[in-house]
Chains A and B, each alone.
Chain A
């Protein structure tokens, strides 16, 4: 499978990465190099193999905890690194006219 320029642009859009037209060809070449190398996975027989999700070495069972609030009331901390804010809110360019 080889990516064309349109697919590179589509994936960049999905990833919310601005791509200059001059970058498309270089990136296409690099991505195809990596994907071509990954292609060898197709030769492995995985019939009936359960996919391994998560990193636990044995059987992973995520623990439950009480559905209770554990912190809160720290708006100042949450907003401390905001590039732009208005009061207790993050500020962004106007989204809806």
Chain B
């Protein structure tokens, strides 16, 4: 194939020859992206968690039937279901959930507005990083429940105290997510950006921030988890009739009434809301960002 004959150069090495070769290469090398069919999604994504939930219910029921412990400690699943139905029929279920969810989301948005510029400052300004970086990472390991007494003394048992606790829990994770996102940007992108003329603010806007997006979204996800956790802790500890009935207060009320089905229902609802927000908001966002960058192919 490799002709070393100089004379044949112009004849066989013409542009037509290579254009055909190129088209063939492009066709052979093109990466094929396949969409998974709906049935497969159902089988691989929906079936496993449903099986897990059913299994938990079965084990629970078996433990109740075997009478491993007193009824007031481990009620029948149907008693919890009954509590849920009652709450729904009284029309208070959605109110309780919404009180907490609206607080949680509002607090999260505030944490987003504070954590993002803070993260940018820590990532890009050396002095600020040296001063605040270790504090931010340290704050992440401090359970935000620890802030509840302080928040109550400063702000009283008010909505303000709730929001303060959410912010103290979520701002560090959002800021840290952005910092690690920026730190993990491949230097090659920054060099390529600079040769294209993206320096300073334009570099931040067109190269640095988009490149840091996956880390930032991971930070948001964690920030939401922290917001929700902190809020539930605050509602449990600092419950007051003035505040309106949220999930935390509902749980605390059930405890004082020794209403075990209510306690279990409270736990299940808190868990359910946390998972639902993650599945409805953050996971699709993360998947979209990773997929457009070709990073989600392995996760399938």
Q: Do A and B bind each other?
A: no
